[in-house]
Amino acid sequence: MPAKIAIVGAGLMGSGIAQVAAQAGHEVVLRDLDTAAAERGMTTIRTSYDRFVVKDRLSREDADAALARITTTTDLEDLGDAELVIEAVFEQLDAKHEVFRALDRVTREDAVLATNTSAIPITQVASVTRRPERVVGMHFFSPVPMMALCELVRGHRTSDETLDRARAFAEGVGKTCIVVNRDVAGFVTTRLICALVMEAVALAESGVASPEDIDIACRLGFGHAMGPLATTDLTGVDILRDAALNIYADTADEKFFPPALLSRMVTAGALGRKSGQGFYSYES
């Protein structure tokens, strides 16, 4: 049943979640810190809808109707009547705490408060609210309109009702859900990809094999759609480095500690596709 959904953060993930929510019939409020950032998110959504129309995956009429269901704001107070709020800001606990303290103050008491984090334990995010039972992890994957998975994560006090409402929304926008019952850093998917990526980077760094050959081995040997280093470029070298550090901080497991090459790439601004250079070049 259509509901009012609020998204905090109009970047790649936030705009993608807003796009699929509006396309599924929900009224969406997309919030960012300033008008320019919110409008960049809307531009991303328009461009994506246009591609769907060109490929006959969506009619022009339906695309325009979905766009009309999205409004933007810079004021958190405008999210007060949303039934579900999904936070999609930087992967930093302090930033998420700032958002959740505000959401706890301005949103209705029965609202579900979700975080799109890929690695930070939900219990830590929920700890600054008065209603941790209504906080849940909803980890979507990039690009959200194309990727079929949503990882639902219970915090220590997440209620069954909250999890059920999160699942209903995710399945309603076309996603298949898995449930993470223990709130460990990195959950299921990020722990798996980080372990693979850290070893792939170490192999490339030590000259055992080239990035191209490591990715070919995973595609053709294991049936992966993309190799781990191409995936790192797509996700963002900095994003995966930070996710691995979050998991390492929680587990002290050396397999998650980023190789020096990964940190050097972040320092040099070689962040993958978004910067034009990562393990591969995208400048052309």
Tens digit of each residue's pLDDT (9 = 90 or more) over 104-161 = 999 999 999 999 998 899 999 999 999 999 999 999 998 899 999 999 999 999 999 9
Q: What is the arithmetic mean of pLDDT over 169-185?
A: 96
User: Confidence band (pLDDT; 50, 70, 90) for 221?
Assistant: very high
pTM given for the model:
0.91
User: Confidence band (pLDDT; 50, 70, 90) for 22?
Assistant: very high
User: Confidence band (pLDDT; 50, 70, 90) for 1?
Assistant: low
Model confidence at 225: pLDDT above 80: yes
Rounded to the nearest integer, the mean pLDDT of the chain is: 96
Q: What is the arithmetic mean of pLDDT over 170-195?
A: 95
Q: What is the pLDDT of residue 141?
A: 93
Model confidence at 189: pLDDT above 70: yes
Angular region, 62: left φ>0, alpha ψ -120 to 50, beta rest: alpha
Q: How far is CA 68 from CA 86, 183, 217, in A?
A: 20, 37, 45
Q: What is the pLDDT of residue 99?
A: 97
Domains of the chain plus CATH, in order, are 4-180 (3.40.50.720), 189-275 (1.10.1040.10)
Q: What is the arithmetic mean of pLDDT over 193-202?
A: 97
Q: What is the pLDDT of residue 246?
A: 87
Model confidence at 18: pLDDT above 70: yes
Q: What is the arithmetic mean of pLDDT over 222-240?
A: 95
Instruction: Report whether 86 contacts 19 (CB < 8 A).
Output: no
Q: What is the arithmetic mean of pLDDT over 214-225?
A: 97
Q: What is the pLDDT of residue 23?
A: 97
Q: Exposed e or buried b for every residue in 133-168, given b needs 16+ CB within 10 A?
A: ebbbbbbbbeebbeeeebbbbbbebbbeebbebbbe
Q: What is the pLDDT of residue 119?
A: 87
